Structures are given as structure tokens and as C-alpha cells.
Amino acid sequence: MSSAETPGPPAPSGPSGPSGDRGIWRRLDRAAGGLGADLGLYALAAAFAAVTAATSTLLPHRAWGEVAALGYSVATLLVLGQLLARRRRPDTRLAGPAARAGLTVLTWASTALLPMIIQAVERAGGRVDRAQEEVLVIERSGARLLDHGTPYLGREAIAALPGGEQLLGYTPYQPGMAVFGLPRALAGTAWWTDARIWFALATAVALAVAVRLLLRGTGAAPGGDRSRDGALVRAVQLATVLPVCALTLATGGDDIPVLALCLLAIACAARDRYAGAGVAVGLAAALKLFAWPVALVLLVHAVVRGRRAGVRLAAGAVGLPVAALLPAQLVDSAALVENVLRFPLGHGLVTSPAQSPFPGYLIAQAMPAGRLVAAGLLVATGLLIAVQLVRRPPRTAASVAVFCGYGLLAAILLMPATRFGYLLYPVAFLAWVPALRLAGSAIRPPVERSRPTVAAAR
């Protein structure tokens, strides 16, 4: 973790952070009012989508690339038009943050939502190669939740499945994820009952609320702070139209609402809305384990801000995951352990297909007792991050995002079984740091100790 991103007291340079942040990456990001980086993002994304369409061995990915390549190409041409308009008239609104935000929404619709809907329609019509396995698993878990009160199959029931079906018998998610499978369980096969449609809806709502919170936080009009608005545009781009995010939503999707809810929780914390932050991160933690470290960092941050803030956040951050786990525990605790713990740790009846060539996976495969070595490195890294949390706890929402970004990056790199797509979490968290700083998430005294000042301000 660099000194520029290490959580701690604010630098004298104000909410934009210390002068060390103003390096080459910031200059590149702000070139031509942000349009230079926009052009690079969309052009590279178009190339990635085209290569995916031509070479991917996964048919849902190939189908995504065929549609997304066109969407990214159109976005690239529109950015070129914005650059020409800005060259002729530097203050034109066609090249401002509002226009860039509009293009971001349009690009997300054409590169994530459109290919997702096309695949959902084709799948409802009988195509069996228009969704990743995660979608099938979640929809089946929704049916089991409706019929049996738990989304999980026990070890014996999974063993009784045909060999090719045993992997799909596992549900390595928290119980709340099965909710996205309920529409198909209740209404049957239709394009709109595809779990991805509901992933997208939850994502759009969470991100829209998060952006609204940060825009309203300083009291400025949405267009009144170009630096803040530009940083928010970049943050939203890297959580939506970045190919790893758009591809994930269109073909599988389960990580995207988890990420969006975590970003909403951090935005709530930036506005001192700790009850809302607790609900948002609690919902995310009820969906997937990836949100649990985020909940922990937010809890430490809230405790630093004051006892009441900590209690408000903990009510949702702890209460909602526990409430989701309790019914599954009561119905079949052995099935819960088999799916949520044993299978992800490599002790299931079949092996997880998550095998991206990151250091943890390579160590686990190449070294004697490599899985234990990789697990030991992961635990040691977690302890180092925990020590850092205690020694220099995150005092702003921006520092929460820094902790979450680098912490999850380390975990993803060192886990014995992981996926390349999981990188969307650290990328998005770190991309939101400048927006959180510029939105005014400056350090203030803990809540209980600032009553006279608050009263005076009122």
C-alpha cells in the first residue's frame, strides 16, 4: 500500500488528497477533461470484445463479444466527436461531465444490458448455451428455497446426482443469493425471470442511489463541481462498462449486485448514514462472502466515528447476514456447511472450476503441500491487514475504499481457487477513491464528541 493511499490523517492539500496523488495517472485521467482516458477505455474495450467474440471457448462470452464490440465502437466514435467539439469550443457542454455520464449510461446499456437481454430471450427460447453455470445454480437454489426452505443440497443428495450434474448441485453462495432465483421458480421460464435481469435491476438501483448520495453530499448542484463530477463518471465507468464488469453481468452476473451494494454502503458512510451503510453491506454479505471483509472495514470505520455510528452500522451489517443464514442452518446445517465452506475450500465431491493463474493457484498446484502454503500466505496477509486496521483505522469513506481495494486484491491473488473476474472488486473500490474524496468525505471528529459543533451548525 503506497503512502498516498494509506488511511490516516488528511493531508493539508484538502479533500483531493496529498500532492503525491497528483502523478502521471491523475494527469492521464484528466487529459482533455477526462475524454482522453474515455477514448482509451472504450477503444481498448472494443478490441477486447472483438477478440472475445472471435476466440473465446465459452459460448456466452462469445455471444457477449459480438454485441459489445459494436457498443464499445460506437462509444469510441462518440468520444472522438466530443474531443472535436471540445477543441472547437473548450467550454462546450457536449464534452462536460454530464455528457460523459450520459455516454457511460448508453454504453452500459449497449455492452451489458443489451447482450444480457438478448441472451435471456434466446435462453428462454430453448438455447442452452446462453448463460454461465452460475445462473443455473442460482435459479435452482431459488426453486429449492421455495420448496424446502433452504437453497442447499446435502452431500448425499449431491452424490446421488449424475457425474456431470454434481458441480451444479453445489451453491457456494450465501442464502440471500437464492432470492434472485425466485422469479423463475414462481413464474416459470421467461426472459424476464432470468436471474441476470434481477441482478441488473439491483445493480442499477444501488449505483444510482450511491451516485445521488455523493452528488448531494456537498450541497453543490450536480454540475457545480466539475472535478467531483468527472471523478464520479470515471468511478461509475469502472464499475459498469469496464469489460470485466459488463461481461460478468451479461453472462453470469452474480458478483455485480454484490459490488454495487458495497459501493452504496461506502457512499452512505461518506454521508454519515451508517444505518443505511449497514443495510447495504448487510444485504451484500447475505449474498456472497466477498462482502464480509468490506463489512468488517466499514464497522471499524464506524466505530472510529463514534459508538452510535458503530451500533447503527452493525445492526444491518451483522443482523442481515445472520438472519439469512439462520433458516438454512435450522433446516439443514450439514448442507449449509457443505456448500458454503467445504466446497469453496476444496473439500467437496467435485473441484471448483475457479482456476485463474494467479500466484495462490500456481503455488497450490506447483509446490508440495502448495495448498497449505497458499492458505498460509493468505492468512498472513489477512493478519497484516488486520494489524493495519487497528493501528491506522480508516477515518474516511475514501480510506475504507482503499482498505477494501488492496485487501481484496491481495486475497484474490493468494487464494488457491479464484477467478480473473473477481478483479472487478478491487478495481471498482480503488476507482471510487477519488470520487469519495472530492465528494467531501473529509475527516470529522467522532459523532458523540462533536455535539456542540453540530448544534451550532444547525
pLDDT along the chain (458 residues), means of 10: 38 40 71 90 98 96 97 98 92 88 97 98 95 95 96 95 90 96 97 98 97 74 66 95 96 95 97 96 96 96 93 96 96 95 85 77 79 84 90 94 94 84 93 86 42 38
Query: Can you give the pLDDT at residue 454?
Result: 37
**CB half-sphere exposure, 331, CA atoms < 13 A:** 19
- Confidence (pTM): 0.88
Q: State the Cα–Cα distance between residues 437 and 358, nearest whole angstrom.
A: 31
Residue 423, Cα to own-chain centre: how many angstroms?
A: 9
Query: Can you give the pLDDT at residue 217?
Result: 52
Where do the domains of the chain lie? 22-126, 131-444
Query: Can you give the pLDDT at residue 440?
Result: 57
Tens digit of each residue's pLDDT (9 = 90 or more) over 69-84: 999 999 999 999 999 9
What is the DSSP-derived secondary structure letter of residue 342? I
b or e along 345-372 (b: 16 or more beta carbons within 10 Å of the residue's beta carbon)? eeebbbebebebebebbebbeeeeebbe
Query: Can you give the pLDDT at residue 443?
Result: 39
